[in-house]
Amino acid sequence: MSSHKHHEKLTQIKDAVIKSKELSEEEKSNTIKHIEAWIVEDKAEGIIADELLAIASGIRPILKELGLL
């Protein structure tokens, strides 16, 4: 699952927690803190993947020229 899809699911879960009538305000707050941390991690993983792809596409011609690909 892509980072973007993870982010969407985490956002849906966060919205459900906020709307929950079963959870106390403290439980909601703690859960939302965890979800927000996961969203930040998910974004970071996406950024890292994008950067690696950009680096790989830049290195590929050099590796071909050197006969390594």
Query: What's the mean pLDDT in 25-34?
Result: 94
Rounded to whole angstroms, how far apart are CA atoms 27 and 25? 5
Per-residue pLDDT band at 35 (split at 50, 70, 90) = very high
Q: Which residue has the higher pLDDT, 50 or 4?
A: 50
Query: Helix H segments across 1-69?
Result: 3-19, 25-65
For residue 43, pLDDT beyond 80: yes
Q: Domain range holding 39?
A: 3-65
Number of domains composing the chain: 1
Task: Give the model's pLDDT for residue 3.
Answer: 61
Task: Give the model's pLDDT for residue 2.
Answer: 55
Sequence-distant (≥ 6) Cβ neighbours of residue 18 within 8 angstroms: 28, 32
